[in-house]
Chain A
Amino acid sequence: MLSCQQLSIQRGQKCILQAVNFTLNSGEFVVLLGENGAGKSTLLSAICGDIPFSGNICFANKAIAAHNEQALATKRAVLLQNNRVNFAFSAAQLIAMGRYPYHESENEQAAVVNTLIAQLNLAKLAPRDITELSGGEFQRVQFARCLAQLNAHKSTTKGKLMLLDEPTSALDMHHQHLTLSKAKAFAQQGNTVVAVLHDLNLTSLYADRVLLLNQGRLCHDGKPQEVLQHSVLQPIYKTDMQITTHPNYQIPMIFSEPERGVTHA
């Protein structure tokens, strides 16, 4: 589905990604983990073809650069971090922009948008001006736009790739779960979702596979139970933590501890 071979990215003197190799399959919800500056967003940008890289990135058995841009847009959608828009489009119009790659009538477009608005509980936001939305509200609307771009309102859609750069960074707990459940369900239909997350517990709850980056290298690639271990995480995050098991799901739950010297009542 998506494979990276010997992917390296150099920016000036600094090596941001170094010989990264992995192959992702359809049906997988993959979480990219790593400390700040580990190269997670850069990896996503490379997969999008936004920045030059050395090595190979193949999507659907074809080099990513060899895809026709318009055809690729119906197969791959990207949610970027904190990008604000200066024009007062309504949230519904923004979601409808995801339909740009499809040549369809206004009614067909509206039907897709309406379905997604209902699926994602966006009815209240739909008529609002996007320049006035909060960060979290805007993030939810952008996520809906990505789903519209990939025909995600249909349960038969397969073979698509969705890249999400911190999709839950501004969301409350309810909407974190709503967003990730939707993304996970989309992956389970036979698509691939790659999400950058910082929340290790959400990773544990949703990921089928975790890629852990450390200083530009892919240091771990495996199931959440394999990667979310004290011996793996502690050296990277340099934070004291305790790992227990979720009472209902038998998956790792991570409790981090404050820096030494900080006492809690």
Chain B
Amino acid sequence: MNNIAHPLLNTTQHIHWYWLSAALLGVLAWLSLSSGAVGWDWKMPILWLLPESMTSDVQPLHISVVTQIRLPRLVLAILIGAVLASSGAATQALCRNPLADPSLMGITGGAAMAAVAIIALSAKVSFIHEAMVTPAAFIGAISVTALIHKVASHQGQVQITTLLLAGVAINAMAMAVIGLFSFFADDSALRLMTYWQMGSLGGASWSAMQYGAPLIIVSIGALFVRRKKINALMLGELEARHLGINVTKLKTEIVIIVALGVGGAVALAGMIGFVGLLVPHVARLLVGPDLRRMLPLSMLLGCVLMLIADWISRLVVAPSELPIGIVTALFGSPFFVYQLLKQKRGQHA
């Protein structure tokens, strides 16, 4: 038989989508570095490349705004966008349903609940310190992921209705606990908690990132090396087992990967919902569900979405800013309803 790759198996076929989204990401990154509260200057991202005659009008303050405020914020947006998208794709593979999402399933809520508890208690209990927020968010996320998967799976099948209902319950619980802590919290803790609940990139700084960023990078890397195995898991647990995959181990690994990613993201930027649902869906539409193609594109598109949402959140109420979680939820929730309708139609067809 011929040795030419089947067009449907060819992984280089969709390469233009990567270039397109990478280019878009570049433009958005440029925009985000050159604009902000102190003004707009297109030169900012490439200042060090330009001859001195062109940079003489730039004030030192402006430069430090770029390196200390805009650049960490850009890096944070990219990390969060990539990890939320990849965690979404991982959760969907774990549950074998494209409707699964860390925020809908309560994983984000669990992480935020733990983070808020640490913030609130750190003001009152001496041995609890704010540096514990990141590990706490991870523990919150991993407990919820493991619990939810346990509750919703039966003989290797995951029931999406049970999964989403369990998510509703856990989210309600998270909101109640966050509400309880805010009731007793002082003013400064209260502001932090509100920020946690709605999600924001406003707290971006190099020093804050040192805790959460490693978690995010490990999560993305670990998912990436398992993409082929996870593809097989999407066929079904038994099918994957019959293909020689240790499914119990793989599922545990995915739970940890998702918890690392979501825990890290929540610790750095609070609860940002729907990115994990929206982005993998678009990536799947463009290049199909094969993670070897879909995962890199999801990450790129996740960054693009975060930068657009961040840009909107800074623009609409400038000079103040809207929490970014509000922006993503406004986009995401109608999309989720649309997906539900579509899946329902599919079942009746």
Contacts and interface: CB of A to CB of B under 8 A. Distances in A.
Contacts of A74: 244
Nearest to B5: A110
A88 B289 contact: yes
A195 to B, nearest CB: 16
A93 B243 contact: no
Which of A70, A87, A115: most chain B CB closer than 10 A?
A: A87
B62 interface: no
Given A97-B235, A126-B8, A87 B244 contact: no
A96 B235 CA distance: 12
A255 interface: no
A111 B3 contact: yes
A73 interface: yes
Nearest to A80: B238
Contacts of A76: 242
Q: What size tier do the contact residues of chain A reach?
A: 35 or more
B97 A86 contact: yes
B242 A94 contact: no
Majority SS at the chain A contact face: helix
Interface stretch (A12-20, A55-63, A100-108, A212-220): A100-108
Nearest to A77: B242
B238 A69 contact: no
B264 interface: no
Contact of B8 (A48, A72, A92, A101): A92
Contacts of B9: 92-93, 96, 106, 109-110, 113
Given A86-B96, A89-B290, A101-B243, A110 B228 contact: no
A83 B241 CA distance: 14
Given A73-B243, A73-B244, A78-B242, A115 B346 contact: no
A107 B98 CA distance: 29
Contacts of B243: 73, 97-98, 100-101, 149
Interface in B252-299: 284, 288-290
B64 interface: no
Contact of B1 (A77, A83, A94, A111): A111
Given A69-B245, A80-B238, A107 B289 contact: no
A86 B243 CA distance: 19
B2 interface: yes
Contacts of B235: 83, 85, 94, 97
A50 interface: yes
A120 B7 CA distance: 19
Contact of A86 (B6, B98, B242): B98
Contacts of B10: 106, 110
Nearest to B157: A83
Interface string B1-40: 1111111111100000000000000000000000000000
Interface string B174-205: 00000000000000000000000000000000
B306 interface: no
Contact of B2 (A70, A97, A111, A126): A111
B254 to A, nearest CB: 15
Contact of B234 (A78, A85, A109): A85
7 contacts: A72-B244, A85-B96, A85-B236, A97-B232, A107-B5, A126-B8, A149-B243
Given A48-B242, A83-B236, A126-B8, 20 more contacts: A73-B242, A73-B244, A80-B239, A83-B238, A85-B235, A86-B234, A88-B288, A88-B289, A89-B290, A92-B9, A93-B8, A96-B9, A98-B243, A106-B5, A106-B10, A110-B4, A111-B2, A113-B9, A114-B6, A118-B1
Interface of A: 48, 50, 69-74, 76-78, 80, 83, 85-90, 92-94, 96-98, 100-101, 106-107, 109-111, 113-115, 117-118, 126-127, 131, 149
Interface of B: 1-11, 96-98, 228, 231-232, 234-236, 238-239, 241-246, 284, 288-290, 346
